[in-house]
Homo-oligomer: A and B are copies of this chain.
Amino acid sequence: MQKITPWEVSGKINYERLIKEFGLTALPSKLPEVFKNNILFKRKFIFAHRDFDRILSAYQNKKKFVMMTGLMPSGVFHLGHKMVADQIILYQKLGAKVYLTVADIEAYNSRNTNLEELKKVAIEEYLINYIALGLKPKNVDFYFQSSRSKDGKKSNAYYALAGFLARHATFNEFKAIYGDISPGKIYSSLLQASDMLHPQLEEFEGKCPVIVPVGADQDPHLRLARGISQRIKLYNFEQLSSTYHKMLPGLQGIDTKMSSSKPESHIALTDSEREVENKIKKYAFSGGKDTLEEHRKKGGNPDIDISYQYLTFFEEDDKKLEEIYNDYKSGKLLSGELKQITIEKINKMLKEHQKKRDKAKKQIDKFLKW
């Protein structure tokens, strides 16, 4: 059975079914160049949206818009997290004001969380990697749910909004959207709705389009916030926009997840060249055949090959990627050779990234303005 909530994802994710069940819309084939050339859009990692036209229109008409996303630090920052970071940075380049919340209150309510540790990881793992990947301090509002900025007025408006939103949701709505709920989950979902909606308060940016790029498992939060936003008359909110991306699979196979707490499932942005090589050689699920003869004869299956899947995220060159696909499928390219291509591609990226991380550390203070 397909079970997707912000707190639990199990079983294989059927993206077609997701679109249908949750009423998402497939991405339009005609997109401005800047999106079409982005690897996440080009390779259909981003596969669906709600109200994305508001963002396209704001971008094309050079109107103000906001990119909002949250992070719940759970240890190591891995390639799956990079996929979100790349989107944050893309929207910043397109002119969006960036709102980044560390969902510490949600974390406390849904996990066994050491709040001091969480704060450390949010800054030293997540923020540093965002900066190293290209996030600039200008127009970024990075905050913790438990301490929204230092300006009393602003933070009050954020918390008060969550309190006022509460009136406009029913239990049945919560149950329909989230399945199992608890007071802690209700509270943090309302706070998350405030995370998404408060950029439009007078005290912040005022009414404007807000794009929330999420994995499909986060759609419940969008459904709740979108529903309430149009019911609450105390404010005048523009409806939220969202896009949905597929998760980068875990090393164990196309239907597995990268997990921060399982090193054998992910490649971390802090992994050494040696670790990357070992992990891919040892763990990356292969679409190849059992013997060399068989592989040469029947070919491999790139569609379930994890090394190939990772390449679709790293190999910008469409032609090169197609060649690899065809060569692997025909049996010309061996599994070991494919793994080697991926290892080199990832290590090249990581080598540069790790240099940038050292520089990034010096920039942290520019983001911690409160």
Contacts and interface: CB of A to CB of B under 8 A. Distances in A.
A183 B155 contact: no
A183 B163 contact: no
A115 B163 contact: no
A156 B147 contact: yes
Contacts of A115: 234
B108 A370 contact: no
Interface stretch (A9-17, A83-91, A184-192, A326-334): A184-192
Contacts of A186: 166, 183, 186-187
Contacts of A162: 187
B160 A187 contact: no
A156 B160 contact: no
A22 B157 CA distance: 36
A164 B370 contact: no
Interface stretch (A38-46, A119-127, A168-176, A307-315): A168-176
Given A150-B153, A153-B147, A370-B152, A183 B170 contact: yes
B166 A184 contact: yes
Interface of A: 105, 108-109, 115, 145-157, 159-160, 162-164, 166-171, 174, 181-184, 186-188, 190-191, 234, 370
Q: Is the interface of A mostly helix, strand, loop or mixed?
A: helix
Given A145-B160, A170-B183, A174-B183, 7 more contacts: A109-B167, A147-B153, A147-B156, A148-B159, A151-B152, A152-B154, A166-B184
A163 B145 contact: yes
Nearest to A234: B115
Task: Give the residue among A171, A184, A188 with the most B Cβ atoms within 10 A.
Answer: A184
A202 to B, nearest CB: 14
Nearest to A174: B183
28 contacts: A105-B163, A105-B164, A108-B164, A108-B167, A109-B164, A109-B166, A145-B163, A146-B163, A147-B153, A147-B156, A147-B157, A148-B156, A152-B152, A152-B154, A155-B155, A155-B159, A162-B187, A163-B188, A166-B184, A166-B187, A166-B188, A167-B184, A168-B184, A170-B182, A171-B182, A183-B186, A183-B190, A187-B187
Contacts of A154: 152
Contacts of A146: 156, 159-160, 163-164
Task: Give the residue among A115, A146, A166, A190 with the most B Cβ atoms within 10 A.
Answer: A166
Contacts of A109: 163-164, 166-167
Task: Give the residue among A152, A153, A157, A170 with the most B Cβ atoms within 10 A.
Answer: A152
